[in-house]
Structure 1
Amino acid sequence: MTRILIVEDEAMIALYLSQELSEAGYRVIGPAASNEEALQLIDGVGCDGALLDVDLGCETSEVVAIRLRERGVLFAALTGYAASCQPVAFENAPILKKPVCIKELLRVLRNW
């Protein structure tokens, strides 16, 4: 079963994504609401892919994106901002606009 890490600081969005991915047959890792939590999960249980909310309140998830790239793990960015406003670590990653369309999200995951 493919393990997908969810990094999202808004609890309702994290819960929604977790439920939808579980129903679609993915194993959800997390969700993590901060970089620290996400990095612990990556280093601990690991993941096969990730969904990263770019803006985690007082920090961005750029350090998580960098760690995932170092490990060769694919990820998509979840954001309300334009692609041109994303940190460099998100370059070439799929950008999913919030509110996330589940059909689009599942299409991205299936294409990995």
Structure 2
Amino acid sequence: MAKVLICEDEAVVALDLQIFLEDAGFEVIGSFPTRSGALSAIGSMNPDLAVLDVRLADGEVFPVAERLKDMGVGLVFHSGHLKRHDVSGEYPDAEFCMKPVAPDTLIAALNRLDARTAAAPGALG
């Protein structure tokens, strides 16, 4: 079961994500509304995958994304503000889901990342 970290500053959205990811068999190991909270916790959490809202309460999520990328964590950018091409240059292996996203679409993106991570640990970003 893949461990998923969520960075989302809207509490209702974060709870929705957690519920449908757990229902799909993922282990949600943390939900963070701020990049500072996520940055201070991710080293000890060792996530396999992450769902990242781009705009968090204390700024954009990219410092968190960089750290997760360096750790080999599969990334899904979940945003209503950016488009895929805005992040694909720096994060070519990341998935992108525009808000609002259907649960099946996000779960499929996480499953693709999980399969690639299992095939080549440390190669995603």
Q: Provide the TM-score with structure 2 as the length reference.
A: 0.81
* Partner in structure 2 of residue 60 of structure 1: 60
Unaligned 5+ segments in structure 1 are: none
**Cα offset for 1:51?**
0.3
**Cα offset for 1:29?**
1.7
Structure 1 residue identity aligned to 2:73: V
Give the match's secondary structure for 1:9: coil
Taking only the aligned residue pairs, the percentage that are identical comes to 34
The count of aligned residue pairs is 112
* Partner in structure 1 of residue 31 of structure 2: 31
1:17 aligns with 2:31: no
* Partner in structure 2 of residue 108 of structure 1: 109
Aligned residues of 1:62 and 1:87 also touching (Cα < 8 A): no
Q: Distance in 2 between matches of 1:107 and 1:87?
A: 18
Q: Distance in 1 between matches of 2:35 and 2:50?
A: 13
Q: Provide the TM-score with structure 1 as the length reference.
A: 0.90
**Cα offset for 1:89?**
4.1
* Partner in structure 2 of residue 93 of structure 1: 94
20-29 or 83-92: bigger deviation: 83-92
**Cα offset for 1:27?**
0.7
What is the CA RMSD across the aligned residues, in angstroms? 1.7
